[in-house]
Amino acid sequence: MHRSTVVYLLLVLGLALGNEARAEPPDFAVEIEPGLTSRMTPNDVAQVVLSRLAEPQVVVPGAAGVPELVPPAPRILSMKLRSGNPWKTRMVRDDGSVEEIGSDVVWVVHAKGSFVSRRSWPGKGPIVRSSGFYVLDDETGQIIARGTLPPPEPDGD
Amino acid sequence: MWQVADAFAIDWQFGGFSQSAILIAVNQEPLLLGNGEGNENAESIEVGVTRGFGDSDVLAYFTAWNRRATDDFLEVPIAGIPSVGLTVEGRILNCALNPSQSGCKQPWSSTNSPFEYAACIGGGCVNWDKTNLGSLAPGPGTPDFWIGLEATCNIYPGSTSPPSRIDTTTVRGIQYRWLGSWSNLHNLNPRPTLGKFPSPSSIHGTDCCNGVVPGTNDQCKQPLDFLYFFNSLTPKTCGTF
């Protein structure tokens, strides 16, 4: 994956996030692909992600199959505005027409916090990690993916 | 022989819905299918319908990928599908083997990944490129994936939102086999002591390779299709907490 584009690095400091759960200073790097404009600001994106991370996770430490974890305070590590959404929903209508749902401009946000999988293996509790990422659709502000591995790069990139 | 791989879900008797808030986290155990050859613990791509995807509090269809060895996961909602009152079909498509399938990227490009899949519910599909996630599969078109479906209700303790309801979820699993050990749906071997599997009458399928047993080293690329109802045919609602 090679990008010929130049990226801009911005250092966002001192965002007033207004949430007591966000204990650590919200400073992080923001990378924006040249030519891209966004509806959401980095502050908007940070608030969505940090709000999610601040919500209680339904994990019972010590319960069968559930690893113990003291989650770190939610903190944004970095975010990137990029083109290409690898997980658009492709709706196939009864008449055979296809509609893609989701925009092409997304925010990929890496963060510290409690990342708990909603799916789990048989006989095993949820996957619990202390860092991961969220992907937000810039157009809707909706979370379109979350996980613990870097999301794939856009096709052909 | 295909078998239900450790289809353990402590909430199976309740139709797939969690009955205890404190055990929600460990209740989300999907019904999975494996090939009984010891690779059940590798990776999975699954589709399902759940409540509370991504920490939200709405009923949502999802597809997820898990890798057991490294405890990694990715979860992606499938947008645009009505949430209740429908019978839906979930399936995982091997797009590289059969790129003309609805739900796969169209037009298909020869440069697309040989590990391109689509996880679909109803008419909505999300594409997965397993290459970008790293691959444990031995080669193109040999996914060794499980197919699972789950209906859960992930209500946080104290939530005041109304319960979700899923009447019936129909699952159609498509799995490909490779290199010799081939599968016959008639050999499907549920483990009733570990989970609730539908009655044989609800299973419909076709023999792999149209009934022709491939040789030991032959590659069978025909899909296995089967349908089953998830856990319950009767309406269920979330438990109360």
**Top-confidence residue, B32 or B226:** B32
**A75 assigned to some structural domain:** yes
Residues 6 or more apart whose CB falls under 8 angstroms from that of B86 comprise B122, B167
In a domain, A3, yes or no: no
- Tally the domains of chain A: 1
Please report whether residue A153 resides in a domain: no
Q: Which residues from A are below 8 Å from B23, CB to CB?
A: 60, 63
Please report, for residues A6, A117, A142, the alpha-carbon distance to residue B158 in angstroms, rounded to integers and kept in the order given: 47, 20, 24
Chain A CB contacts of B8 under 8 Å are: 122-123
Q: Which residue of A lies nearest to B76 if distances are taken between CA atoms?
A: A145
Q: CA-to-CA distance for A42 and A40, rounded, in angstroms? A: 7
Residues with Cβ < 8 Å from A70, sequence gap 6 or more?
none
pLDDT tens profile B97-126: 678 877 788 888 877 776 677 777 767 788
Residue A104 inside a domain? The answer is yes
Q: With the C-alpha atoms ordered A140, A88, A35, A77, is the resulting torsion angle positive or negative?
A: positive
- pLDDT tens digits for range B145-181: 444 445 444 333 344 433 333 333 333 333 333 323 3
Q: In DSSP terms, which residues pair with A99 in a beta bridge?
A: A91
% of chain A with per-residue pLDDT over 70: 61
CA atoms of B17 and A149, how far apart (whole Å): 29
**Nearest alpha carbon to residue A136 among B56, B23, B104:** B56
Domain residues for A64?
Answer: 8-147
Give the pLDDT confidence of B201-225 residue by residue, as tens digits: 333 333 333 444 443 333 333 333 3
For residue B237, the one-letter residue type is: T
Q: Does some domain include residue A154?
A: no
ipTM, two decimals, is 0.74
- Mutate one of A85, A100, A119, A120 to test the B interface: name it (highest B CB count within 10 A): A119
Q: Are B238 and B18 in contact (CB under 8 A)?
A: yes
User: Confidence class of residue B45 from pLDDT cuts 50, 70 and 90?
Assistant: low
In a domain, A157, yes or no: no
Give yes or no for a contact between A29 and A9, defined as CB atoms under 8 angstroms apart: yes
Would the CB atoms of B127 and A122 count as touching at under 8 Å? no
Report d(CA A122, CA A19) in Å as an integer.
Answer: 36
Q: What residue of B is the nearest CA neighbor of A133?
A: B74
**Across A136-140, A148-152, B53-57, B120-124, which has the greatest mean pLDDT?**
A136-140
State the pLDDT at residue A44: 93
A135 neighbors B59 (Cβ within 8 angstroms):
no
pLDDT one-digit tens code per residue, B56-106: 333 556 777 766 667 788 888 777 665 444 445 556 666 776 788 777 888
pLDDT score of A133 more than 50: yes
